[in-house]
Chains A and B, each alone.
Chain A
């Protein structure tokens, strides 16, 4: 395989730790049966692996009863289950202008097909969400508040505790796609009623496995019903969790990998891993701040810092102090983001993502719609050297663009 630098971990973390691959191979070779359905020893072993995976994820998030964790295909499936399973005609929902299409599209369908009313609490031009704006969007019919925990465009973390305080006892659905595995999260403090996330980003698990945490006070209608391995004499869907919301053969091999990944995170220490990624993020922001023609988009960039050499330096200095996951959105003067990403890939072997990142509303919020941005998202297995090489590449490309000497 050609050498490359992978900086698209916000989409899917890569590579996966060896223990994840081993757990998946082992599942397929030694226990790849239908978990708990068939009764024989392989089926029992597969059920144990699914159970251990569920317990591992529950432990990471402070979930007291692992039955409240529903395995899904990904964060999008989790969000669809949460929104479609909870909202009824006439309900009102408050969400934010930072959301991914995995929230916006289901809400649009619910609005069009079920008469659910939706209000957007708008973040400011830096992508910063004021909890007071969320409070002001509430109505008597509000039945759910939906917020992303961190923007997949800017990396800025929203203040969940303040939002919980602002909405009182209302049910809160959190899109944790960018934060679960990246930040310490306890679903009890502040209270999160529904937490949707995927296994393939910061949790370092494989693609195709995600989770929805369902708080003990909430009742969701299933989107899919069918075989569960329980109550098989009846054609009525079991009422108990997780079976109520988990029909069909589960992704055992994905859960095996996810369980191994979460146990690795627990052993390595999530704060230590987060610290490593923060150091990479700091290097990236500091370096970008020194490159003329580079602009960082997101919190802090609108705040001028006296003495900062460039607008990017102002952004770097101001954003470093705020809570964020390792995501940086940038543009380069005189160069489209698609050309930038293409050149990074083909000329330097640096893999990043350009465009709207499935979050057009977030880009409208920070003023980068429809062009979008280049998103760099370092992960656990990136190194300081890789960040330095990336900065050197961006320095060359930005200089070329400024000089008008774009190479084909």
Chain B
């Protein structure tokens, strides 16, 4: 996982995560992003976001618009995309 503290709050380079309702949705999201050629990985859900599935998909903040476009075309229940800003996670609107 990219340490949130290293991102400096800049979403273009930030550590971002896709949060879903179930592990099925998480794996579906990761699969879709990889098929679209985007770097991503399944990692444990950061504690501040742990009220959802136990894993999330992390990706580079610079890809956020592409990620959103890919996810919009997938049959998944998206709980949100979060951007790490410092030690906090901010939900992408």
Contact = CB atoms under 8 A, between A and B. Distances in A.
Contacts of B41: 44
Contact of A230 (B21, B27, B44): B21
A51 B21 contact: no
A391 to B, nearest CB: 48
Given A44-B42, A47-B27, A65-B75, A39 B54 contact: yes
Contacts of A240: 21-22, 25, 77
Contacts of B30: 48
5 contacts: A36-B23, A47-B26, A230-B22, A231-B53, A232-B50
B50 to A, nearest CB: 7
Interface string B38-81: 00011111000011111100000000000000000001010000
From DSSP, what is the main secondary structure of chain A's interface residues?
loop
B51 A229 contact: no
Interface residues of B, number: 23
A99 interface: no
A220 B41 CA distance: 33
Contacts of A238: 21-22
Contact of B27 (A51, A65, A243): A51
Given A229-B54, A238-B21, 9 more contacts: A36-B23, A36-B42, A47-B55, A51-B28, A67-B24, A229-B55, A230-B23, A231-B53, A242-B24
A66 interface: yes
A193 B85 CA distance: 46
B67 to A, nearest CB: 18
Contacts of B21: 230-231, 238, 240, 243
Contacts of B55: 36, 39, 43-44, 47, 229
Nearest to A243: B22
B31 interface: yes
Interface string A53-75: 01000000000111100000000
Given A47-B55, A231-B52, A233-B50, A36 B26 contact: yes
B43 to A, nearest CB: 7
Contacts of B45: 39
Interface residues of A, number: 27
A44 B41 CA distance: 9
A229 B52 contact: no
B84 to A, nearest CB: 17
Given A39-B45, A240-B77, A54 B24 contact: yes
B54 A232 contact: yes
A41 B31 CA distance: 15
B3 to A, nearest CB: 16
Contacts of B53: 36, 229-231
A35 B51 contact: no
Residue among B45, B51, B52, B55 with most chain A CB within 10 A: B55
A334 to B, nearest CB: 57
A326 to B, nearest CB: 34
A357 interface: no
B54 to A, nearest CB: 5
A36 B41 CA distance: 13
Contacts of B51: 231, 233
A48 B24 contact: no
A61 to B, nearest CB: 16
Given A228-B22, A230-B22, A36 B54 contact: yes
B24 to A, nearest CB: 6
Contact of B23 (A35, A64, A65, A66): A35
B15 to A, nearest CB: 16
